[in-house]
């Protein structure tokens, strides 16, 4: 009994070291969304670009789509933009967007420079709708199913690997 | 040339540490005195070599040698000299040099002051110190060499993080490290005693001064850090339960427990198995603090991803040092002789309760700090653990701890008369009640925790006061008699009273500013006046100045009370162009029972005024007065002649055990 | 000591940081002091999502500001404190709470140390009692001479008051 008791600190400590070893390989900054499998929040945002309609929760029903939250002042958004463009053009995926806390002119300039892959863009000037989505950093990308429910969230710029391994399989699955 | 010299000195220090960590062990095992004696010159040599390395790095910083990468990354030619020097340890590599310098300093000090130690124990303690040195020197040379050169040589450096360019923070890390590293001595003594298979009261007596040095330094380091946070972060917060802060609080809690349980070992030859464990754990928590802060496990994984070797290396070091010693503990601690018995109500009993509560408090902080990551790693929910959690769990533990603290020093060893002791404390209890009533009268019943807190602080302070009064028989005889007794009272008793009273005073300060803080956030134009807590602040002017390596917008406030000018305050908002960072410099006027605190913020968009934050922080200076008194308590206790001398080497022969004690 | 929110920016994760600014700003404050006090209280319980372990009350990140304004709007609309916290957990999950809710998966966190205290306290008490009765038994087996010495020792110790003055050695 006493022997076991004296061994206990070592055992606990080894557990702690193992935990740290796993912790070292872990990225604590990625947050899961609290909205997964819940319907997208009710919202209606006005348009920002001529010829591209605004975005509301009704628009998200009926087809599998992506919703991208972006801003002209966000550098990583520029990084992922070409990829979004390819997804829309080459894969024919419907991508809607929420322009987050930005001046409308700045958004228009950004899209004029970078091209517009989005079917609909809602202007969320005060960022309130984004809070309803649980957005905490731009860019964020959501996968929405036919019923208008949020199925997946990606935080940070989309990279080709994320698209290949997560986004596309998910869209294929949901489109069946 | 000089940086290469420093690098070379580090390599030599490593070689000496290798010698120090091998020969003395072999010598002690074989009874070869000459081999054991090698530890001493090796420890001195290590100190010398690391000092050379440290001075070489300091030289590179002082003369702004931008061919050294470390200087480029953390300095700038326009930086004030104080921060050129402080910049040496204001970064990962340089702080490691300071870390090993302190380790070597403690190693050399053990070698020097350890003349009374039995030869084998001394050899083993220094051997363990040598092992720690080997680990850290290897780590530094392999992953964090501070002397790396750059080519081509840049024209100027990237500057030190402006938040660190501050007198409070310049000296905060050295004291913190002195504390962390100081606990390595207790650790080495624990490991040495386990190898020897013997712990006796003399062991407790040897360990205590080193623990007190470490504890006092750590207390001062933490106090300086919180003082810095108080004036630098712009609203007067002094503790945030941030993981980095928790990393320093955990060894402090464990070290406090150790300083107390070592007394029981020394006086009563009891709690030995526990004290050994505590000595190991205290240093482990110090190392873990280093790991948590540098590996990026808790803060940002990306800071770590820059150099994946570092986190892993510290983890390996931690695993070897603690894992090894705990293995030794599991194997050997069972054979330690069981010491003296005591009744639950006794000095020992109170110290056991102190240890239980401090350990639990430490476990609360550890769990709160690590649990979110733990849940995340096992795939559970993402949660946050912040100040509200710690306040809800830590404070309930602090209340009984402080209650026991007041009573403990009055209790006799072995068996005490609780009724009698409480009887002698009635006046302290009365004064405590009066303090609570004052708080009630001045501030009302809400929040209840404030009243409890004031009660705790007052109890700790008054009980400590009465402890001394009781022991020198103050007012119960001629004053000259009390004076003679006061001079005759052991320094240890004075130290205890000072440390306990200091904690009480600090608690009152913490409560005061936390619950009775008054705040005014408003836009002020030139000439405006704002009233707060009976004072008035008028904004007289705001000017832009260019100073050293920053530009500043400096405000001038006149502080008045009842129309009388009390002080002129100059809060600043600084911009460091090289580091591209903005800092706020609060202006503080202290009345010693409260602080008036003014912060100048951004100019409003129309340019007509500034966002200004004004605070009245009641009792806040007491946090740091109290801390300084605690440190003084540690130092006074350290100066106790019983700790410095009086341990003739031969006393520790096993046969000289306390044979007359019935417990054996 | 605290890490600025910029760490995340360095991580390539776009944060909602514009320029440095204060935490609570004058234009956010509610006119009703009672409501404003509640808002401050709630803000201190909510995590600034883009920062390291800061509450939205302490943080100068723009998202923290948006959340502070939102908290005040909900309060002005008549929400209770609990409803405001629920509103935010619905969107951001338990992560947004600095004081984690008591759930089965946080039992260890909330009660672990206290359970440990109970077990350790009970264990220590049990151990000490055993040791004492052993000591009494041992004492019973003493010779008359030893008994007398023991009594003398116990008497010294008991009369020793705050025993520090005895130099430890004296007992030997």
Tally the C-alpha atoms within 13 A of residue A33's C-alpha that lie toward its C-beta: 25
Using CA atoms, how far residue A54 sits from A42, A115, A121, B287, in Å, is 14, 17, 5, 55
* CA–CA dist A21, A14 (Å, integer): 10
* Residues found in chain A: 176
C1 in a structural domain: no
* Gyration radius (Cα) of chain A, Å: 21
Q: What is the DSSP string of A80-135?
A: HHHHHHHHHHHS--EEEEEEES--HHHHHHHHHHH----SEEEEETTSHHHHHHT-
CB atoms near residue B370 (< 10 Å): 23
Closest CA to B136 of B104, B182, B91: B104
C168 in a structural domain: no
* CA–CA dist B658, C153 (Å, integer): 12
Burial B262-290 (b: 16+ CB within 10 A, else e): bbbbbbbbbbbbbbbbbbbbbbbbbbbbb
Same domain, B146 and B75: yes
**Contact: B329, A9; criterion CB under 8 Å:** yes
Q: Which of C85, C101, C117 is the last residue of a domain?
A: C101
C172 in a structural domain: no
Same domain, B490 and B532: no
Same domain, B16 and B125: yes
Same domain, C94 and C123: no
Could you tell me the two tokens for C76?
């002005």
* CA–CA dist A127, C69 (Å, integer): 11
Using CA atoms, how far residue B25 sits from B132, B244, B322, B347, B602, in Å, is 14, 36, 18, 37, 63
pLDDT the model gives residue A29: 63
DSSP H stretches of helix in B517-552: none
Closest CA to B100 of B89, B111, B90, B112: B89
Q: Which of C101, C118, C140 is the last residue of a domain?
A: C101
* CA–CA dist B658, B377 (Å, integer): 51
* CA–CA dist B472, B404 (Å, integer): 22
* CA–CA dist B359, B354 (Å, integer): 8
Residues in chain B with pLDDT < 70? Answer: 295-308, 445, 641-664
Q: Which of B160, B193, B212 is the last residue of a domain?
A: B160
Could you tell me the two tokens for B44?
């001195």
Same domain, C53 and C119: no
The distance from CA B313 to its chain's CA centroid, rounded to whole angstroms, is 24
User: Phi, psi at residue B337, to the nearest 5°?
Assistant: -70, 140
Same domain, B12 and B23: yes
Q: Which residue from A76, A101, A136 is facing C50, i.e. has the nearest CB?
A: A136
B441 in a structural domain: yes
**Contact: A28, B281; criterion CB under 8 Å:** no
- Strand-pair partners of B598: B587, B614
pLDDT the model gives residue A140: 92
Residues in A touching B304 (Cβ below 8 Å): 24
Q: What is the dihedral of CA B69, B72, B74, B75, to 10 degrees?
A: 140
- Minimal CA separation from B12 to chain C, in Å: 34
Residue to mutate among B234, B294, B379, B386, with most C CBs inside 10 A, is B386
**Contact: B373, A28; criterion CB under 8 Å:** yes
Pairing outcome for strands A65-70 and A94-100: parallel
Same domain, B510 and B526: no
pLDDT the model gives residue B304: 36
Number of structural domains (chain C) is: 2
**Contact: A29, B301; criterion CB under 8 Å:** yes
Same domain, C94 and C115: no
Residues in B touching C64 (Cβ below 8 Å): none
Flag whether pLDDT at A5 surpasses 60: yes
Same domain, B510 and B533: no
C-alpha angle C27/C32/C36, rounded to 5°? 65
User: Phi, psi at residue B573, to the nearest 5°?
Assistant: -125, 115
Interval B168-220: pLDDT, tens = 778 888 899 999 999 999 999 999 999 998 888 889 889 999 999 999 999 99
- Strand-pair partners of B572: B554, B585
- Strand-pair partners of B585: B572
Could you tell me the two tokens for B166?
């501050």
Q: What is the dihedral of CA A18, B241, C94, A12, to 10 degrees?
A: 20
* Residues found in chain C: 172
Same domain, C63 and C96: yes
Residue with tokens 């580090």: B10
pLDDT the model gives residue C13: 31
Q: Which residue from A7, A26, A28 is facing B330, i.e. has the nearest CB?
A: A7
Look over chain B and give the mean of its residue pLDDT values, rounded to a whole number.
Answer: 87
Number of structural domains (chain B) is: 3
Host domain of residue B114: 1-160
Host domain of residue C51: 6-101
CB atoms near residue B660 (< 10 Å): 13
* CA–CA dist B129, B226 (Å, integer): 30
Same domain, C52 and C31: yes
- Strand-pair partners of B543: B554
Higher model confidence: residue B219 or residue A136? Answer: B219
Same domain, B26 and B111: yes
Residues in chain C with pLDDT < 70? Answer: 1-23, 134-172
Contacts 24+ apart (CB under 8 A), A148-151: A148/A39, A148/A40, A148/A57, A148/A60, A148/A61, A148/A62, A149/A37, A149/A38, A149/A39, A149/A40, A150/A33, A150/A35, A150/A36, A150/A37, A150/A38, A150/A39, A150/A40, A151/A36, A151/A37
* CA–CA dist B78, B284 (Å, integer): 40
Across the A/C interface, how many CB contacts are shorter than 8 Å? 64
Give the neighbor-by-neighbor strand order of the sheet with A65-70.
A120-124, A94-100, A65-70, A140-144, A150-155
Could you tell me the two tokens for B37?
């004696």
Same domain, C156 and C124: yes
Minimal Cα distance from A101: which residue of C? C16
Residues in B touching C96 (Cβ below 8 Å): 384
Same domain, B2 and B141: yes
Same domain, C10 and C91: yes
The DSSP letter of residue C26 is G
The DSSP letter of residue B22 is T
Q: What is the DSSP string of B256-317?
A: HHHHHHHHHHHHHS-SHHHHHHHHHHHHHHHHHHHHHHHH-SSS-HHHHHT-HHHHHHHHHH
Same domain, C31 and C109: no
Q: What ipTM was assigned to the predicted interfaces of this complex?
A: 0.83
* CA–CA dist B189, B275 (Å, integer): 11
A34 lies within 8 A of chain B by CB: no
C47 in a structural domain: yes
pLDDT the model gives residue B17: 96
Using CA atoms, how far residue B530 sits from B418, B599, C21, in Å, is 54, 13, 21
**All residues at 6 or more sequence positions from C165 whose CB lies less than 8 Å from its CB, including other chains:** B490
Residues in C touching B658 (Cβ below 8 Å): 171-172
**Contact: C163, B412; criterion CB under 8 Å:** yes
**All residues at 6 or more sequence positions from A10 whose CB lies less than 8 Å from its CB, including other chains:** B323, B326, B327, B329, B330
A156 lies within 8 A of chain C by CB: yes
Contacts 24+ apart (CB under 8 A), B421-429: B424/B466, B424/B470, B425/B463, B425/B466, B427/B462, B427/B466, B428/B459, B428/B462, B428/B463, B428/B465, B428/B466, B429/B459
Same domain, C11 and C69: yes
Using CA atoms, how far residue B621 sits from A148, B226, B416, B512, B595, in Å, is 57, 12, 37, 10, 7
* CA–CA dist B537, B613 (Å, integer): 11
DSSP H stretches of helix in B144-234: 167-196, 201-232
Same domain, B507 and B523: no
DSSP H stretches of helix in B444-529: 448-471, 479-488, 491-516
C92 in a structural domain: yes
Same domain, B72 and B110: yes
Residues in A touching B281 (Cβ below 8 Å): 9
Using CA atoms, how far residue C59 sits from B49, C72, C126, in Å, is 45, 16, 49
User: Phi, psi at residue A100, to the nearest 5°?
Assistant: -95, 125
B181, B106 contact by CB (below 8 A): yes
Same domain, C92 and C111: no
Q: What is the DSSP string of C132-155?
A: HHHHHHHHHT--HHHHHHHHHHHH
Same domain, B533 and B500: no
C170 in a structural domain: no
Same domain, C55 and C85: yes
Same domain, C47 and C132: no
Q: Which of B107, B135, B160 is the last residue of a domain?
A: B160
Task: Please report, for the domain that includes residue C70, its CATH number.
Answer: 1.10.8.640
Residue to mutate among A2, A34, A79, A140, with most C CBs inside 10 A, is A34
**All residues at 6 or more sequence positions from B61 whose CB lies less than 8 Å from its CB, including other chains:** B70, B71, B74, B75, B84, B85, B87, B88, B94
**Contact: A6, B297; criterion CB under 8 Å:** no
Partners of chain B (3+ Cβ pairs below 8 A): A, C
* CA–CA dist B443, B459 (Å, integer): 19
Residues in B touching C49 (Cβ below 8 Å): none
Could you tell me the two tokens for B649?
């080497």
Q: Which domains does chain A have, with CATH numbers?
A: 36-175 (3.40.30.10)
pLDDT the model gives residue B270: 86
Same domain, B613 and B539: yes
* CA–CA dist B322, A128 (Å, integer): 50
**Contact: C93, B382; criterion CB under 8 Å:** yes
pLDDT the model gives residue B307: 60
B271 in a structural domain: no
* CA–CA dist A169, A93 (Å, integer): 12
Minimal Cα distance from B387: which residue of C? C98
Closest CA to A79 of A159, A166, A165, A163: A159
- Strand-pair partners of A65: A94, A144
**Contact: A128, C66; criterion CB under 8 Å:** yes
């Amino acid at each position: 009994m006493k022997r076991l008791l004296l061994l206990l600190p070592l055992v606990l400590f080894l557990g702690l070291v193992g935990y740290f070893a796993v912790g070292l390989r872990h990225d604590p900054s990625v947050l899961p969304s609290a909205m997964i499998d819940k319907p997208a929040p009710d919202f209606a945002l006005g348009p920002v670009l001529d010829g591209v309609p605004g975005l509301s929760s009704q628009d998200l029903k009926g087809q599998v789509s992506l919703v991208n939250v972006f801003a002209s002042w966000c550098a990583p958004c520029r990084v992922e933009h070409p990829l979004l463009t390819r997804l829309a053009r080459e894969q024919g995926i419907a991508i809607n967007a929420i322009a987050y806390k930005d001046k409308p002119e700045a958004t228009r300039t950004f899209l004029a420079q970078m091209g517009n892959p989005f079917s609909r863009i809602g202007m969320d000037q005060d960022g309130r709708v984004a809070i309803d989505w649980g957005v905490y950093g731009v860019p964020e990308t959501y996968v929405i199913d036919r019923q208008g429910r949020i199925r997946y969230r990606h935080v940070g710029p989309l990279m080709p690997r994320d698209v290949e391994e997560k986004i596309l399989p998910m869209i294929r699955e949901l489109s069946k | 040339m000089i940086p290469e010299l420093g690098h070379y000195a580090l390599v030599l220090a490593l070689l000496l540490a290798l010698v120090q960590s091998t020969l003395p062990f072999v010598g002690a095992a074989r009874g070869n005195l000459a081999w054991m004696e090698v530890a001493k010159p090796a420890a001195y040599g290590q100190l010398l070599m690391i000092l050379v390395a440290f001075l070489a790095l300091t030289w590179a910083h002082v003369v702004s040698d931008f061919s050294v990468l470390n200087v480029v990354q953390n300095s700038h030619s326009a930086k004030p000299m104080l921060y050129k020097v402080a910049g040496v340890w204001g970064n990962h590599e340089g702080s490691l040099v300071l870390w090993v310098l302190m380790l070597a300093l403690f190693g050399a000090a053990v070698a020097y002051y350890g003349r009374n130690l039995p030869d084998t124990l001394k050899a083993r303690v220094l051997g363990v110190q040598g092992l720690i040195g080997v680990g850290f020197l290897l780590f530094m040379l392999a992953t964090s060499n501070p002397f790396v050169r750059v080519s081509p040589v840049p024209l100027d450096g990237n500057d030190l993080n402006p938040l660190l360019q501050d007198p409070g923070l310049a000296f905060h890390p050295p004291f913190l490290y002195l504390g962390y590293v100081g606990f390595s001595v207790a650790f080495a003594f624990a490991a040495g005693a386990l190898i020897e298979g013997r712990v006796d009261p003399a062991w407790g007596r040897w360990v205590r001064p080193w623990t007190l040095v470490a504890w006092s330094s750590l207390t001062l380091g933490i106090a300086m850090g919180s003082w810095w946070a108080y004036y630098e972060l712009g609203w007067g917060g002094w503790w945030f339960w941030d993981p980095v802060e928790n990393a320093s609080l955990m060894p402090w809690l464990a070290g406090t427990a150790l300083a107390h349980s070592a007394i029981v070992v020394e006086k009563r030859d009891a709690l030995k198995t526990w004290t050994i464990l505590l000595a190991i754990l205290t240093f482990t928590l110090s190392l873990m603090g280093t790991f948590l802060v540098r590996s990026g496990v808790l803060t940002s994984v990306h800071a770590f991803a820059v150099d994946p070797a570092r986190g892993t290396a510290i983890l390996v070091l931690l695993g070897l040092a603690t894992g090894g010693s705990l293995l030794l503990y599991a194997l050997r601690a069972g054979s330690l002789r069981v010491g003296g018995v005591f009744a639950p109500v006794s000095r020992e009993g109170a110290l056991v309760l102190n240890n239980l509560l401090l350990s639990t408090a430490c476990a609360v902080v550890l769990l709160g700090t690590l649990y979110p990551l733990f849940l995340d790693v096992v795939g559970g929910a993402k949660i946050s653990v912040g100040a509200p959690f710690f306040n809800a769990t830590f404070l309930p533990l602090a209340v009984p701890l402080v209650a026991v603290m007041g009573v403990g020093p009055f209790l006799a060893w072995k068996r005490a008369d609780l009724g009698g002791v409480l009887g002698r404390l009635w006046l302290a209890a009365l004064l405590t009640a009066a303090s609570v009533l004052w708080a009630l009268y001045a501030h009302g019943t809400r929040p209840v925790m404030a009243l409890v807190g004031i009660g705790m602080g007052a109890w700790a302070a008054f009980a400590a006061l009465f402890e001394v009064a009781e022991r020198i028989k103050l007012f119960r005889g001629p004053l000259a008699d009390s004076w003679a007794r006061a001079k005759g009272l052991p320094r240890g008793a004075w130290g205890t009273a000072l440390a306990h009273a200091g904690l009480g005073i600090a608690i009152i300060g913490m409560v005061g500013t936390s619950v009775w803080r008054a705040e005014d956030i408003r836009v002020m134009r030139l000439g405006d006046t704002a009233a707060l807590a009976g004072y008035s602040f008028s904004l007289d002017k705001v000017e832009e100045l260019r100073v050293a390596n920053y530009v500043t917008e400096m405000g001038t406030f006149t502080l008045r009370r009842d129309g009388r000018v009390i002080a002129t305050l100059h809060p600043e908002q600084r911009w460091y162009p090289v580091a591209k960072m903005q800092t706020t410099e609060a202006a503080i006027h202290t009345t010693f029972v409260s602080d008036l605190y003014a912060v100048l913020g951004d100019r409003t968009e129309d340019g007509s005024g500034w966002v200004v934050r004004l605070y009245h922080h009641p009792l806040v200076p007491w946090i740091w007065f109290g801390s300084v008194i605690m440190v003084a308590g540690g130092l006074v206790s350290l100066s106790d002649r019983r700790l410095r001398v009086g341990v003739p080497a031969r006393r520790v022969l096993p046969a000289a055990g306390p044979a007359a004690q019935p417990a054996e | 000591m605290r890490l600025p929110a910029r760490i995340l920016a360095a991580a390539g994760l776009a944060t909602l940081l514009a320029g440095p600014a204060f935490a609570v700003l004058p234009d956010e404050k509610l006119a009703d002091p009672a409501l404003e006090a509640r808002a401050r209280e709630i803000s201190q319980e909510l995590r600034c999502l883009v920062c390291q372990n800061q509450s939205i009350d302490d943080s100068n990140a723009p998202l923290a500001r948006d959340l502070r304004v939102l908290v005040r709007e909900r309060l002005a609309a008549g929400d209770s404190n609990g409803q405001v916290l629920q509103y935010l957990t619905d969107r951001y999950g338990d992560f947004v709470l600095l004081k984690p809710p008591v759930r089965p998966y946080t039992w260890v966190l909330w009660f672990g140390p206290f359970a440990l205290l109970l077990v350790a306290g009970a264990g220590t008490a049990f151990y000490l009692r055993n040791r004492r009765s052993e000591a009494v038994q041992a004492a019973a087996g003493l010779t008359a001479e030893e008994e007398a010495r023991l009594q003398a020792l116990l008497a010294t110790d008991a009369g020793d008051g705050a025993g520090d003055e005895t130099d430890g050695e004296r007992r030997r």
